[in-house]
Amino acid sequence: MKWMTSAEAREAFLDFFEEMGHRRVPSSSLVPGNDPTLLFTNAGMVQFKDVFLGLDKRDYPRATTSQKCMRVSGKHNDLENVGPSPRHHTFFEMLGNFSFGDYFKRDAIRYAYELLTKVYGLPENRLAFTVYENDDEAYNVWINDIGVDPKRVARMGSKTNFWQMADTGPCGPTSEIHWDKTPEAGVETIIPLMQAEDDRFLELWNLVFMQYNRTQPDPAHTGQFDEQLPAPGVDTGMGLERVVSVIQGVKANYETDLFMPIIEATQRLTGHTDAERDANIVPYRVIADHIRAAVFLIADGVLPGPKGRNSVCRLVIRRAARFGAKLGFNEPFLATVADTVIDVMGGHYAELVERADAIKRAITKEEIYFRRTLDRGLAELNEMLDDLQSRGETQLVGDRAFYLKATLGLPLEVIQDVAEERGATVDLDGFRRAEEQHALDSGGGKAMGKLEAVDLYNAVLSQLKDEGKLGESGVVYDPYGDTTMDDRVLALIVDGQRVERAMTGDRVEVVLGYTPFYVEAGGQVSDTGRIIGDSWELAVEDVRRPVGGLVVHLGEVVAGTPREGDDARAEVDAERRAAITRNHTGTHLLHAALRHRLGNHVQQRGSLVAPDRLRFDFTHDARV
């Protein structure tokens, strides 16, 4: 066996298939383009789904990739296994080779065997194989073409050896290649143990023979909704982390050079000895796994947030922070660990290096929000538990727990953990009842029913004027003076309705009497920043003027419960504003320079002024 670094193993795979006539295609984004059946890219074939279905054509019939994947939801979900399991990850890289109506089972098996035994030099007597129960063709390739011992080839059912990307879509029988961890147990037991899915084998590589399009979900696997694909193809996937663990001769993926530098970066911050680290290995692994996921998600534009994909990014950062707390971190630390991820992976994924600053900023911001939420929530929870103890009780009633979650944003799992540490439990039925009641109640307050957007804003504006909270000219707009201003919450809008209060995690629009935030105009983007109250905070992501006289600040409540009438301080992100100002000056300089070089006829036609760039459109009658 040849020892290789993970970078060498990845490169050797792609090189090998390039030599075998495959086009080396870059990994696609973690966010699948245009595929509503999937939250995240979960396999290498996702970017080729339409090619398999015959709906899209490429100018190459064979491809090879190292694909960024996430498995945190839906059909392929590994989140709960991360940490305790040495092999499971949320984010991982899948090495693959693909044939679009070109070669099929024979060559797919031949290539895989040659790569593993010749390029990676894995000993033949450490490999075992599976095929789909009635797939004689694949079985015969293993026995007759490759010449492996029939005692090493197990026939398996659809649970393990029929692959489908989601409930519908391309699918087909598979053949898997496994690493035998204990060859000394003998060849006689290979087939029965494989069929019993014994831990003796580590699945390395899945070769899928894409043959059908499943047109409707088919949980009983009757095959009745499987239509033949226009041309059968091949889709293979091998987890880079696993094969590297074999090549590097270590017991867990976390011990490879993909993870060790990340774990060591965390260890440098804790100051643990190796023995202390190993005694706490679960938090170290969870942090290493989740920080990789967060870095790659943010690089692909998925920022932490309350819903959908964004909520997954939030979940992995908060989970990593929570496991960090178990190691004693009480300040943001994940951005430092993220630096190491960018170092380890940036050589192959340039987007990490390009977006390093933005990635680290987003991670730290989320950690800070989470910490504030935790501090406030834990203080109240501990008071509740003290109270409970003094009364000799052990169960926290559901609506108290729900209050901690809805009002203070404390995750239920944290409430349960802390209660358990103090010998108490949480009344989950009561919690669910409170949650349902809340869903019924919200929409109360000053709800005006759902209105068309413009009508809603006009109604809010005239209500505020009638109530004497706004003068005739509406919100006082002053983005040219101080970047901080103290005022009051005049109105809150959630989901198209005016409400009296908003909860942690809500997306809300806030109206103040005065605003220092610039509203996008003339190509210059809006300011961002925050609005803070006594015990709450809103992250302002955008500012709009939906109707003349009304300015709304849009964003997410990251802590606490803002209410109408609360005192509030508006703070523009001054650093970002300064960057925008510099680019604004840049457009004037560029305009002057163009007139100087090209002539006074040069006219500005449009522009974009953002913190990180500017664009200047102008008229000129020739090429510059």
Residues that bind ligand SER (CB under 6 A): 43-45, 96, 163, 206, 208, 235-237
Measured from the CB atom, the residue of 170 and 513 that comes closer to ligand SER is 170
- Report the C-alpha gap between 234 and 219 in whole angstroms: 23
**DSSP for 169-238, written as a single string:** EEEEEEEEEEEES-GGG-STTHHHHHHTT-TTEEEEEEEEEEEEEE-S--TT---TTEEEEEEEEEEEEE
Measured from the CB atom, the residue of 239 and 516 that comes closer to ligand SER is 239
Least Å distance between CB 207 and ligand SER? 7
Q: Which residue is nearest to ligand SER (CB)?
A: 237
Measured from the CB atom, the residue of 71 and 360 that comes closer to ligand SER is 71
Measured from the CB atom, the residue of 43 and 580 that comes closer to ligand SER is 43
- Report the C-alpha gap between 106 and 234 in whole angstroms: 10
Render the burial of 405-423: b for 16+ CB within 10 Å, e for the rest.
bbbbbbbeebbbebbeeee
Measured from the CB atom, the residue of 296 and 370 that comes closer to ligand SER is 296
- Report the C-alpha gap between 316 and 330 in whole angstroms: 17
Least Å distance between CB 70 and ligand SER? 12
Tokens of 80: 């709960």
Measured from the CB atom, the residue of 171 and 511 that comes closer to ligand SER is 171
What's the one-letter identity of residue 390? S
Measured from the CB atom, the residue of 67 and 607 that comes closer to ligand SER is 67
Rg, C-alpha atoms of the chain: 29
Query: Three-class SS of residue 461?
Result: helix
Least Å distance between CB 236 and ligand SER? 5
Least Å distance between CB 1 and ligand SER? 24
Least Å distance between CB 45 and ligand SER? 5
Under 8 Å between Cβ of 571 and 483: yes
Least Å distance between CB 198 and ligand SER? 20
Measured from the CB atom, the residue of 166 and 265 that comes closer to ligand SER is 166
Least Å distance between CB 183 and ligand SER? 25
Least Å distance between CB 179 and ligand SER? 16
Least Å distance between CB 239 and ligand SER? 9
Q: Where is 490: in which H helix or E strand?
A: strand 484-494
E-state strands within 354-405? 395-396
Q: What is residue 26's DSSP assignment?
A: P
In angstroms, the Cα distances linking 376 to 265, 404, 408, 424 are 29, 9, 7, 20
Nearest to 52 by CA among 219, 209, 217: 209
- Report the C-alpha gap between 524 and 518 in whole angstroms: 9
Measured from the CB atom, the residue of 231 and 378 that comes closer to ligand SER is 231
Full 3-state SS string of 253-312:
HHHCCCCHHHHHHHHHHHCCCHHHHHHCHHHHHHHHHHHHHHHHHHHCCCCCCCCHHHHH
What's the one-letter identity of residue 527? D
Measured from the CB atom, the residue of 14 and 410 that comes closer to ligand SER is 14
Sign of the torsion formed by the C-alpha atoms of 438, 442, 444 and 446 = positive
Tokens of 340: 């190491």
Measured from the CB atom, the residue of 238 and 461 that comes closer to ligand SER is 238
Least Å distance between CB 112 and ligand SER? 11
Q: How many residues are there in the chain?
A: 624
Measured from the CB atom, the residue of 170 and 409 that comes closer to ligand SER is 170
Q: Across-strand partners of 391?
A: none
Under 8 Å between Cβ of 512 and 477: no
Under 8 Å between Cβ of 212 and 226: yes
Least Å distance between CB 96 and ligand SER? 5
Measured from the CB atom, the residue of 164 and 524 that comes closer to ligand SER is 164
Least Å distance between CB 176 and ligand SER? 9
- Report the C-alpha gap between 158 and 161 in whole angstroms: 5
